[in-house]
Structure 1
Amino acid sequence: MSGPVLAVCAETVFLDLPVVERARVLHELGFAVELWDWTTKDLPALAATGATFTSVTGYVDGELVDPGGADRLLASAERSIRAAAALGRPNLNLHGTGLDGRGLPVRPAPVVTGADWLAAERTLRRVAELGRRHDVVFTLENLNTALDHPGTPFARAADTRALVAAVDSPHLRMNLDLYHAQIGEGNLVQLVRDSAPWTGEVQVADVPGRCEPGTGEVRWEAVAGALLEVGWTGTVALEAFASGDSRTAVERFRAAFCGVAGRA
């Protein structure tokens, strides 16, 4: 059985280069590529790099709970599907609500009610149906509220797993972000085990600092072992800033997961 594909987020490394050149360098180094907001990118130029793209932002407006916001989310998700087609068929990433330019929720929710959970599930069922019609996968990413994204609803991995499991569609999966989970929940090995049936992607960065593996407190060999244990063959993506030289950072990431990884 082949191992996971290793990807690197082009928004966080080789920052001295234009994003198209970042994608080209990452491809030459043997990594797949992840992107954030597609609306600011030259998609044909990125496609021409030959890189494999594994994830882009799946919406540019809207949120899960408010009916009007849900309609806007679905409309922007359709636009995202059409745009991302230029890059193949990457996962389309979602959050519990829209985030502004600072990563803060456009609709903060210090308290999430039962009605909010039901509304979010209804919206995500619509998202999954949209994914089915277009044969794409949306992923719902967990975030941390203690440091980076205070006030974001449905932020914990336990929350995203509950929503994804309730919808129960192959076109809606978790984006299991272990950086955010370490800050908000910890117990990463068990989290990988518990979430495996619902996961569509795994993202990593060390804590504290959000830099490459080996710069913080996480025992990445244990995480890699858990991924091997559950038979993970999807994407493992570095969504981390380089602590120094970007090439060194991505090679440290590769070394941390070389025992379970394939190639892009």
Structure 2
Amino acid sequence: MTFSLAVCSEMVFTDLPLLERVERIHAAGFAVEIWDWTTKDATALVATGAEFTSMTGYVTGDLITDGGADDLLATAAKSIPFAQAIRCPSLNLHGTGLGEGGIPVRPVEVVTGDMWLAAVRTLSRIAELGAANGVTFVLENLNTEVDHPGTPFGRAADTLALVSAVDSPHLKMNLDLYHAQIGEGNLVELIRRSAPYLGEVQVADVPGRCEPGTGEVNWPFVARALADTGYDGVVAMEAFASGDSDIALERFREAFTV
């Protein structure tokens, strides 16, 4: 089983300008992921020759308020031409827009039943938008204990419930195992339950959010469990380098070569 390995350009080679980071990641044999597209030049990204597997697929909005849902749909629609220009097939979403330091713009303390129903309606509209434009949106889980307090639908169990409720090939899960380890644990069972809905998997070790091999997770074991489900899609390192970025990339490659 061979995964498509990608690296988030926002978190490695951080002493270099972004385009040079993309070039270094590409030269090392990995695909590339980016965050906020509004600060980037699509033509310059394409000129690097890199393959892009994921980018943030909205600018503002949320899943649960009428105005937030409309903003999410509108900015998701604006994100699609950029994704098409760089030939990026997956556009990443969160339970709500994130502000400075990853803090939710609209934090939620208690998620109600009405919020769940509103989120399913919003994501159904997102899936229709993806189908109309030939792209796939992926919904990422986020931990609320350390990095993103107040994010609604932050657990992987939540994103799985929402994605399975919509049940569209144009809305899948971005299963972030770093966030899941902090918030839920039991990663292998989580992978098995999520397998039918996976559009992407992201990894970083815990604690510290650095490359695999720097923390508590047995990544080769997790990688084998993921391969055993039949998953052969993108596994992306969304992690800081604990030291040298080239070494961090090689540690990631070693952990997910199965």
For residues 113-168 of structure 1, the C-alpha deviation after alignment (integer angstroms, 9 at most, x for no partner) is: 00000000000000000000001000000000000000000000000000000000
CA-CA distance at 1:171 after TM superposition: 0.2
Match of 2:91 in 1: 92
The amino acid across from 1:247 in the alignment is: D
SS at match of 2:15: coil
How many aligned positions are there? 258
What's the offset of the Cα at 1:42? 1.6
Structure-2 residue corresponding to 1:12: 11
Aligned counterpart, 2:23: 24
Query: Following superposition of structure 1 onto structure 2, how do residues 169-180 of structure 1 map, counting pairs within 5 Å?
Result: 169-180=168-179
**What's the secondary structure of 2:101's corresponding residue?**
coil
Does 2:223 match 1:224? yes
Contact 2:58 2:72 (8 Å CA) reproduced:
yes
Q: Structure 1 counterpart of 2:166, which letter? A: V
> Matches of 2:43 and 2:127 in 1, distance apart?
27
Q: Describe how 1:1-264 pairs up with structure 2 within 5 A.
A: 3-259=2-258
CA-based RMSD of the aligned residues comes to 0.7
String of CA shifts for 1:64-91, please: whole Å, max 9, x gaps.
0000110010000000001111110331
2: distance between equivalents of 1:193 and 1:221?
16
TM-score by length of 1: 0.97
Q: Which amino acid aligns with 1:108?
A: P
Structure 2: runs of 5 or more not aligned: none
What's the secondary structure of 2:139's corresponding residue?
Answer: strand
**What is the SS of the residue equivalent to 1:152?**
coil
Name which structure has the greater RCO, CA cutoff 8 Å, separation 6+: 1
Gaps of 5+ in 1: 260-264
TM score, norm. by length of structure 2: 0.99
- Output the CA distance in 2 between the equivalents of 1:191 and 1:82: 33
Q: 3-state SS of the aligned residue for 2:6?
A: strand
